[in-house]
Amino acid sequence: MKRSKSFLVFAVLLLALGFSGLASAAPITTFVATISLTDPTQLGRLSRNGLPQDWSGGGSYPGFINLGTAYHYSVYTLPGALFDFGAGGYAGYVQVSIDSISPNSFGAAYRNSYDPTNTIATWLGDPGVSGNYFGVDPLAFQVFLTEGDNLLLVFNNTASGNVGVGDQLGITVEGFLDTDYTDPSQVPEPASLVLLGTGVLALGGRLRKRLRKGEPVA
């Protein structure tokens, strides 16, 4: 009987390991964002209020400041299709990480379009500050993307005289199914779950037959 218990524990462990991938995270995309002198300019920029946006929606639009100062900005568009995992679901809970030690550049997320004269219209969120936490830990903020919408990431320098132009920012974008960070690329399809459950039940049935016959189970 001890050996049968060990076998069942082993089967349960195999089942658990099969689902352990659910806790992992695969990025939607990673890239290096840059701000250059050839990028367009805008008058004014978002204020940095120190409050990173998260999925609770607690962060409010920070406002636009320095309307008499020109800043360069670059726009990166991520098509909504990148967040659609088909049977796995739509990864609309988006987390953006920005790896940069520079205090002179800033990024924010927008829905579908970016108008530097009316940023509040499509603003989704931003990290609230510039430069890595403690100089080493990338900034992160979270936004919710509605299915079918595109995600725009906009980066600008934050000081006059083109200070911050030339900055390079390492960007990682991740999409999840919910606030529990469920990774859609790791969710088994229904057919896989049925096959896995059938296999475990079959093993259990064979084990019970051997036990009734008094056969060894190892």
* Interval 117-146: pLDDT, tens: 999 999 999 999 999 999 899 999 999 999
Domain boundaries, the chain: 2-20+189-213, 25-182
Distance CA 159, CA 157 (A): 6
Average pLDDT over residues 54-59: 85
What is 25-182's CATH number?
2.60.120
* pTM, full prediction: 0.76
Binned at pLDDT 50, 70 and 90, residue 25 comes out as low
Residue 95 clears pLDDT 70, i.e. is over it: yes
- Give the lowest-confidence range in 82-86, 155-159, 184-188, 206-210: 206-210
The confidence score (pLDDT) of residue 90 equals 95
CB 167 within 8 A of CB 101: no
CB 46 within 8 A of CB 126: yes
Distance CA 114, CA 73 (A): 11
Question: Which run of H or of E encompasses 203?
Answer: helix 190-213
Residue 4 clears pLDDT 70, i.e. is over it: no
Share of the chain above pLDDT 90, in %: 69
Give 166's contacts (C-beta < 8 A, 6+ positions apart): 34, 35, 36
Question: In this structure, what DSSP letter does residue 187 have?
Answer: S
